[in-house]
């Protein structure tokens, strides 16, 4: 199998490259980047660190994603292309893959680009190849977890995706960004999308904030709405099962959240030119330049010491004996895990507008007939690779899915979201083999009845007696 990694010298692409070179059954990996020297450096870096399983030939080359002819020439002999470059390259790289009959996987299109990518479905069907769009950690793993959690439910009413990020490593950079700065600025500045009452709506970026207690070491994190691809695809996946609500929120360390709020509040993430006495300036261009320049400040940079907590909460019903979901057995007792899940009708909020956990509340769930599943994955830096948690859970999934495509584990042509393409069990097994384990817990009637063959636990869940996630929080909406 021959794989081309576009954007291989980037913060995430090099870990996709590294995982491919460490995997059995991968014969050749081409590291492609706009900067040819950096591409060759990344190729040499990955080849020098490949483990005992790594047998792939690795090379690097310069490749401009805006040059369709060059893309087609490089992709002609490839089985799969992993696009780890910025999302503006998604469509041209996909066009080239459709032309050359090459499978495709990327890290996400931040909702709007994702929807344009889905429109290319017929092109890929005609070419007989597959594009899996949005296959990092989030989107990507989050989508697969949502599909798994809702797989045996006849009605799926609500999906909530939450991502909590913590970083304990010292840094002298004024704004130590965890991933692509342009994507990050869009997440804090561009209006987000949510799916409510069966319709897509626009909400302000980082609005309706709430504080969640993620599992250690992440801990309490303030999260808010951001533009993300899960909201573009999960409503389609669950469309025939009554989906009413899909939302995505992300949160970072408190000081980082405050810095980003200040920068965006001052308009420094704006992409429109501003005329000043000294000349015309695009605020975002200036901000990005300063962040990049100060990110390389000399200082005692430590090994990665970050953590990410991914969790996906799905609420729905299974059919009763008649096949009618409304006749599913009802349990009106309190949730067995003692976690309050207040009904969305509760719209009270503290004065500062940030919703906080309410662990003292012990009221039973408002609808005992509902089944609620919580899938979570807590990621820490790789013990030997020196890859940070964010690099690991974003860079590795494209490699896994590229191998699924090359080895026909995924063998369905078209443009597919992860929840429609990726088989959960083998995918979770691959994550676990790379130190990323997933737990799946169930509350409601399914606890007594079993849960679709999982018995309320995923195949990747740790043994009995290990820590299970407990999120005690108020579930209500706050006006921005």
pLDDT in tens, 89-101: 999 999 999 999 9
Average pLDDT over residues 282-306: 81
Task: Count CB atoms within 10 A of the CB of residue 171.
Answer: 14
Residues of the chain with CATH 3.30.360.10: 141-265+302-389+436-449
**Distance (Å, rounded) from C-alpha 434 to C-alpha 426?**
13
Architecture category of domain 141-265+302-389+436-449 in CATH:
2-Layer Sandwich (3.30)
| Percentage of residues of the chain with pLDDT beyond 90 | 74
Q: What number of residues does the chain have?
A: 480
C-alpha torsion angle, residues 169, 173, 179, 185 (rounded to 10): 140
CA distance to 221, 411, 418, 452, per residue, from 381 (Å):
19, 32, 24, 32
- For the domain bounded by 2-133, which CATH number is listed? 3.40.50.720
| 186/255 Cα distance (integer angstroms) | 19
The closest of 295, 310, 388 to 12, measured between CA atoms, is 388
Residue 383, classed as helix, strand or coil, is coil
Cα end-to-end span (Å), the chain: 49
Q: What is the mean pLDDT of the chain?
A: 84
Digit-coded pLDDT (tens) for 243-252: 999 999 999 9
106-165 pLDDT, tens digit per residue, is 999 999 999 999 999 999 999 999 999 999 999 999 999 999 999 999 999 999 999 999
Task: Say if residues 41 and 12 touch (Cβ distance below 8 Å).
Answer: no
In this prediction, residue 352 has a pLDDT band, given cuts at 50, 70 and 90, of low
Q: What is the pLDDT of residue 327?
A: 35
Tokens of 18: 């590294």
User: Cβ(156)–Cβ(313) under 8 Å?
Assistant: no
Within the chain, all domains assigned CATH 3.40.50.720 are found at 2-133
Cα gap 414→432, rounded to integer Å: 28
What's the pLDDT band for 445 if we cut at 50, 70, 90?
A: low
Please, are residues 217 and 168 in contact by the beta-carbon 8 Å criterion?
yes
Q: In this predicted structure, what is the pLDDT of residue 302?
A: 59
Average pLDDT over residues 166-170: 91
Q: Over range 383-394, report the average pLDDT.
A: 94
Name the band, by pLDDT with cuts 50, 70 and 90, for residue 334. Answer: very low
The pLDDT value given to residue 346: 34
């Amino acid at each position: 199998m021959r794989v081309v990694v576009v954007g291989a010298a980037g913060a995430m692409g090099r870990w996709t490259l590294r995982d491919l070179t460490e995997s059995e059954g991968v014969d050749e990996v081409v590291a492609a980047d706009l900067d040819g020297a950096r591409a060759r450096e990344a190729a040499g870096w990955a080849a020098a660190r490949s483990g005992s399983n790594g047998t792939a030939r690795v090379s690097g080359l310069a490749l401009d994603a805006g040059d369709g002819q060059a893309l087609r020439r490089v992709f002609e002999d490839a089985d799969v292309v992993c696009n780890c470059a910025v999302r503006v390259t998604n469509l041209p790289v996909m066009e080239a893959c459709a032309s050359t009959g090459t499978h495709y996987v990327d890290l996400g299109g931040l909702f709007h680009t994702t929807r344009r990518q889905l429109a290319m479905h017929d092109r890929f069907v005609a070419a007989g190849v597959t594009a899996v769009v949005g296959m990092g950690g989030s989107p990507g793993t989050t989508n697969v977890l949502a599909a798994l959690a809702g797989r045996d439910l006849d009605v799926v009413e609500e999906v909530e995706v939450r991502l909590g990020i913590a970083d304990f490593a010292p840094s002298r950079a004024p704004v130590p960004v965890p991933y692509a700065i342009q994507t990050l600025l869009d997440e804090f500045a561009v209006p987000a999308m949510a799916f409510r009452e069966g319709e897509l709506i626009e909400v302000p970026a980082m609005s309706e904030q709430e504080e969640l207690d993620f599992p250690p070491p992440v801990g309490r994190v303030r999260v808010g709405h951001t533009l993300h691809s899960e909201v573009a695809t999960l409503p389609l996946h669950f469309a025939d099962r009554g989906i009413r609500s899909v939302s995505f929120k992300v949160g970072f360390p408190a000081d980082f959240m405050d810095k980003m709020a200040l920068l965006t509040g001052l308009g420094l993430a704006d992409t429109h030119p501003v005329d000043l006495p000294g000349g015309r300036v695009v605020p975002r261009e200036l901000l990005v330049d300063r962040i990049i320049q100060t990110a390389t400040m000399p200082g005692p940079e430590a090994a990665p010491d970050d953590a990410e907590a991914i969790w996906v909460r799905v609420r729905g019903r299974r059919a009763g004996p008649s096949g009618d979901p409304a006749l599913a057995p009802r349990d009106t007792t309190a949730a067995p895990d003692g976690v309050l899940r207040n009904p969305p009708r509760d719209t009270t909020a503290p004065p500062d507008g940030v919703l906080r956990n309410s662990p003292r509340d012990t009221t039973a769930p408002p609808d005992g007939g509902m089944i609620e599943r919580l899938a979570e994955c807590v990621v820490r830096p790789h013990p030997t690779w020196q890859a940070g948690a964010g690099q690991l859970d974003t860079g590795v999934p494209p490699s896994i899915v590229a191998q699924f495509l090359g080895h026909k584990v995924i063998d369905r042509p078209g443009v597919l979201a992860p929840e429609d393409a990726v088989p959960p069990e083998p995918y979770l097994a691959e994550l676990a083999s790379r130190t990323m384990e997933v737990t799946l817990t169930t509350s409601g009637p399914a606890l007594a009845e079993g849960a679709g063959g999982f018995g309320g636990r995923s195949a990747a869940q740790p043994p009995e007696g290990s820590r299970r996630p407990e999120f005690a929080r108020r579930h209500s909406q706050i006006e921005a």
